[in-house]
Structure 1
Amino acid sequence: MTMVLSTPTAGRVREAMAALREWQYDEAPMQLHPGDIGWNYRFGTAETAAAIRTWSRDGRILAVGMLDSPTLVRMTVAPDVFQDEDLARQLVNDLSLPERGVLPEGAVSVEAPRGLLLHDLLAEEGWGVDEPWTPLFRDLAEAVEDPGVPIKEIGLEQAQDFADVLRSAFNTTRPTRDYRHGMSAAPFFSEARCLGAHDDHGNPAAVVTVWSAGPGRPGLVEPMGVHADHRGRGYGRAITLAGAAALREMGSSSVRVCTPSANVGGVATYKAAGFTAMPEIADRIRKV
């Protein structure tokens, strides 16, 4: 059967996210999650649709990718086709040739889960590996400990607070109040939560957004940030615990996150919140 590469319309992004939901399970390697696309909705519905790529065969979606930037595609495939040679070779062609409309010429990166035949084929084509990332995982079978600080849900009326904390946490001017509003347009946003940890004066000290993939499946933390004025006081651990507890209430079986291994503080924060670090992973990179 012919493999079909496509960019879905805004209305059909839901199908890509639904496929991703089905592919999430606790034993799976770290991979693209529907919450990653949900977080991308901060840029707008049309913009998110333009960043999605799907690969289908006989009407079934086999792979989903998201352009996290013009030169980085994050992707995964259905669990039963990790070693499908036809799919892997099609992916190599589509990721390597600029005219296919996925990645441009020059230095580009591909994030894909461990175990894909795609990695072997890209290596044969001379693609190297980028800086390591650390996946972290926490099982949610048992109750999550109390975070020890006031936790409140962040609705649209607190959109500016959400943006202010993220701007400070990541030392950037990009997050705006529109981020919180844009995310609310994401398919399945009813299964996400935005939470804030507050200090003794009621000021937001840390925020987190968590994304469920449905009952019995792993949820995702994306993003989590602590305001610069509140670092080193345990708010990162507290808001991460609050996020894990929210996912457990929504029926998630576990929670996962991935952060650059060089972010030693971030890795330590997640470990303090009961997460276990898994073997490092790295993007495939094609240099100029």
Structure 2
Amino acid sequence: MTIALRTPTVAELAAALDVLASWQTEEAPFQLHPGDIGWFWRHGPEAAAAAVRTWSRDGSLVALGLLDEPDLLRLAIAPGAHQDHELAQQLADDIADPDSGVLPAGTVTLEVARDVLLHDLLDENGWARVDPWPILHHDLASVDEHGLRIQVITEQEASVWAHVHGAAWGGGPSDEAAVEARWHRFAGGPAFANARCLVGWDQEDNAVATVTVWAAGPGRHGIVEPMGVHPDHRGKGHGRAMNLAAASALLEMGSTSAMVATPGSNVGAVAAYEAAGFRSLYERLDRRRDS
């Protein structure tokens, strides 16, 4: 059977996200999550559709990729196809061919779950293993109290989220309107039906941190993407508190666990997750092809 590569339309993305959600089981390795595409939706639905690539066999989705950057592909493979040689070869060929529309020529990066057959073909083709990312897991069996007042952000409170998130990621007051517009875009996407956007308030009634969590449906793992603390309120344990709030929200939504990947070089983020009960499962190495 032929494996077909295509770029979906906006109208087709919701169905593809449902399939991707079904792959997020505890038995499957950590890989691209519907929440990753949900967060990318901040760029708008047309941009989200243009950044997705799907591989289907006999009408069934077997792999899905997100071009999170023009030279970075984040890839998910159907749980039953991790050792599928035909699929691995097709993926390797499409990733290597600039004319396929997956990755351009030159230096590019691929994020893919460990222990899939594709890695063997990448090794043969000279792709390096780079940039360790700890994969952190919270089993949600016991979640500590976080100590903040948590506000679930709706359309009416988007400006609060924009103020905290924008500042946490280096923006200023003049950027807040654009950041708020991005909130409205990703909140209008299909993945946000399984998401919550939270802002934490301290005892002095300051909005100090924000986090967005993305579930994949009951009985599956959810992810944290992104979490940030306002720079005026760092060093007070608010990162830990928001990660605990994130875990609590995912538990309420029926997730079996909370997961996150963060660069190993970001020791502060790793420490904040670990302080909230996340535990490192392993380090994932990205793959890079140099020009």
User: Under a length normalisation based on structure 2, what TM-score does the superposition of the two structures give?
Assistant: 0.95
What amino acid is the match of 2:192? F
Question: 2:78 maps to what in 1?
Answer: 78
What aligned pairs does 1:59-98 form with structure 2 within 5 A after superposition? 59-98=59-98
What aligned pairs does 1:2-13 form with structure 2 within 5 A after superposition? 2-13=2-13
Question: 1:212 maps to what in 2?
Answer: 215
CA pair 70-172 structure 1, distance change in 2 beyond 3 A: farther
**Does residue 246 of the first structure (1) align with residue 249 of the second (2)?**
yes
Q: Distance in 2 between matches of 1:129 and 1:167?
A: 33
1:196 to 191, 195, 199: 199
Question: 2:190 maps to what in 1?
Answer: 187
Q: Residue 91 of structure 2: SS of its match in structure 1?
A: helix
What amino acid is the match of 2:153? I
Question: 2:151 maps to what in 1?
Answer: 152
Per-residue CA shift, 1:102-122, capped at 9, x if unaligned? Answer: 111100011000111111101
Q: Distance in 1 between matches of 2:184 and 2:130?
A: 33
192-201 or 99-108, which moves further after superposition?
A: 192-201
1:226 to 215, 226, 229: 229
Q: Distance in 2 between matches of 1:172 and 1:18?
A: 33
Task: Report deviation, 1:172.
Answer: 4.7
Task: Assess if the C-alpha contact under 8 Å between 2:218 and 2:256 holds in 1.
Answer: yes
**Percent of aligned pairs sharing the same letter:** 50
Task: Assess if the C-alpha contact under 8 Å between 2:37 and 2:191 holds in 1.
Answer: no
Q: Distance in 2 between matches of 1:273 and 1:105?
A: 41
Q: Residue 278 of structure 1: SS of its match in structure 2?
A: strand
Question: 1:132 maps to what in 2?
Answer: 132
Q: Distance in 2 between matches of 1:217 and 1:22?
A: 8
What amino acid is the match of 2:66? M
What aligned pairs does 1:26-175 form with structure 2 within 5 A after superposition? 26-142=26-142, 144-172=143-171
Question: 1:177 maps to what in 2?
Answer: 180
Task: Assess if the C-alpha contact under 8 Å between 2:5 and 2:54 holds in 1.
Answer: yes
Q: Distance in 1 between matches of 2:52 and 2:260?
A: 21
Question: What are structure 1's unaligned runs of at least 5 residues?
Answer: none
Question: 2:282 maps to what in 1?
Answer: 279
Q: Residue 46 of structure 1: SS of its match in structure 2?
A: helix
Task: Report deviation, 1:279.
Answer: 1.2
Question: 1:264 maps to what in 2?
Answer: 267
Task: Report deviation, 1:237.
Answer: 0.8
Q: Residue 114 of structure 2: SS of its match in structure 1?
A: coil
Q: Distance in 1 between matches of 2:4 and 2:163?
A: 42
What amino acid is the match of 1:74? R
Task: Assess if the C-alpha contact under 8 Å between 2:152 and 2:197 holds in 1.
Answer: yes
What amino acid is the match of 2:161? F
Task: Report deviation, 1:184.
Answer: 1.5
What amino acid is the match of 2:126? G
58-67 or 115-124, which moves further after superposition?
A: 115-124
CA RMSD of aligned residues (A): 1.3
Q: Residue 137 of structure 2: SS of its match in structure 1?
A: strand
Per-residue CA shift, 1:69-98, capped at 9, x if unaligned? Answer: 000000110111101010001001111111
Q: Distance in 2 between matches of 1:7 and 1:278?
A: 33
Alignment coverage as a number of residue pairs = 287
What amino acid is the match of 1:264? V
Q: Distance in 2 between matches of 1:240 and 1:150?
A: 13
User: Under a length normalisation based on structure 1, what TM-score does the superposition of the two structures give?
Assistant: 0.96
Q: Distance in 1 between matches of 2:238 and 2:199?
A: 10
Task: Report deviation, 1:255.
Answer: 0.4
Q: Distance in 2 between matches of 1:73 and 1:184?
A: 23
Q: Distance in 2 between matches of 1:281 and 1:195?
A: 28
